[in-house]
Amino acid sequence: MKFIHIADLHIGKRVRGFSLIDEQKYTLEQVASYAVQEKVHAVIIAGDVFDKPVAPLEALDVLEEFFATLATAHIPVVAIAGNHDSAERLSFGARFREEQFVHIARAFSATPQFLDFTEANNDSKEENKEKVAPLRVRVHLIPFVRPVHVRAAFPHQAEAIANYTDALRVACANQPLIEKDANLLVAHQFVVHGESEPETCESETVSVGGLDSVQASVFDAFDYVALGHIHTAQSVGRDTIRYSGSIFPYSFSEAGREKSVTLIDISPSITGANTSPGATNKRLSVTTRSLPLHENRTLREITGSFEELARTAPSDPHADDYLHVTLTDDALMNAMEKIRALYPHVMQLDFAHTRRIQTARQQAIKEAHLSNDPIGLLTDFYRSQTENELSESQIAAIRTIIDEEVAAR
């Protein structure tokens, strides 16, 4: 059985005042085309469908068209809310949408949410061919949650939920797993493997210090985990815990990175055991393949003097891209106006000498922070905000809190 895994659509997002709605529409048309071409059983959206809890009308139109295209091809959509979405608004009309192949998870509660997909894997009429039982894939839905949500849903376990890892462990433990077939989880969290964190970029919302991190081990019982939240496609811990990445680059830190969708193929395996550490009684083959997404207009960075850019712009086949321009000139009057006459979609303009100064300053601050302990960081922050020093009793209280947090881990 095949599924397409996408996430972080952020439909309606604007970057530095520029709407990306046309690019998002073009990308989703490619996703729908892949879904039809690969004859998938469903398209899975792992959160951040919209960029804001209250989506603009143009974003609603794009999503509706995407859903309608898939419904016409009788391809279900399964979606959860991310931290940018409103789970309540996103799931409005869910009972009616299901008739049109659209399944959207409601806000997290004690009631588990899941769908079952079944396919007979033995269409051959060869008499001597070994019979294989129909494969069933249960798709479990856990929209973006915080520990407070899980404590409210399971008050009898509230004391055991101290952090995000605990919260997801409890949420996953209350999903009804099927023992003999495949369990696929859809979630939207910041997942880490031990001390190893996923590769991030500037367009994501990640808590400082990894306070919202979830250990990948809580997903051991699932054969594939379709993740959203991180914008770079990558696996965490094992190949089958995967971020599909965003469908479009939403910051210049992503410039030049190819975007893709993840094609999941789940099938019975007579010889090979499944890849899920927590379900050794099953034999499944779970493989993934990346399908590239192409962009008519992307985010790009260019550097040069105004004279050099003026000379090359007329022959630049991608002059219409969204650009971050760095000028090597010492100064240029009305720089943005002049550059936009050459490149109409300049989002950001810097001068090289200014960037060097800013980069050196940021690096110095970073090195100072890395060489400091938590008490030192808080002392520096308090001093910068109040122009006063922390008292000995305040430092002692802070140290007690830090020691308790370390012990709890």
Q: How far is CA 278 from the centre of its chain?
A: 24
Could you tell me the CA-to-CA distances from 201 to 44, 45, 206, 210, 238 in Å, in that order? 23, 20, 10, 14, 21
- Give the lowest-confidence range in 18-22, 139-143, 198-202, 240-244: 198-202
> What is the C-alpha to C-alpha distance for residues 79 and 75, in angstroms, rounded to an integer?
13
Report the first-to-last Cα separation within the chain, whole angstroms.
39
> What DSSP state is assigned to residue 274?
-
306 shares a domain with 286: no
Residue at which a domain ends, from 277, 292, 307: 292
Q: Domain containing 308: what range?
A: 299-353
Lowest mean per-residue pLDDT among 180-189, 193-202, 227-236: 193-202
> Are 78 and 115 found together in one domain?
yes
pLDDT band at 132 (very low <50, low <70, confident <90, very high): low
Residue 409 lies in a domain: no
79 Cβ contact list (under 8 Å, min separation 6)? 44, 45, 47, 49, 90, 102, 103, 104, 105
Residue by residue, DSSP assigns 165-222 as HHHHHHHHHTS---SSSEEEEEEESEEEBTTB-----TTS---GGGTTEEEGGGGTT-
User: Does 137 lie in the same domain as 67?
Assistant: yes
Rounded to 5 degrees, what angle do the CA atoms 176, 181, 183 make?
Answer: 50
The amino acid sitting at 279 is A
Model pLDDT for residues 182-198, shown as the tens digit of each residue:
999 999 999 999 988 88
Q: What are the angstrom distances between the C-alpha of 38 and each of 4, 44, 75, 324? A: 9, 14, 11, 36
Tell me, yes or no, whether 11 and 50 share the same domain: yes
User: Residue 103 is which amino acid?
Assistant: H
Same domain, yes or no, for 287 and 332?
A: no
Residue that finishes a domain, picked among 272, 292, 312: 292
How many separate domains does the chain show?
Answer: 2
Q: Do 198 and 316 lie in a common domain?
A: no
Judged against a pLDDT cut of 60, whether residue 364 lies above it is answered with no
Cα–Cα distance list, 379 to 122, 132, 139, 295, 374 (Å):
67, 65, 48, 47, 8
In this model, does residue 121 exceed pLDDT 50? no
Same domain, 312 and 249: no
Q: How far is CA 124 from CA 1, 127, 130, 132, 300, in A?
A: 16, 9, 10, 11, 50
> Looking at the domain assignment, is residue 395 inside a domain?
no
- For residue 178, tell me if it sits in a domain: yes
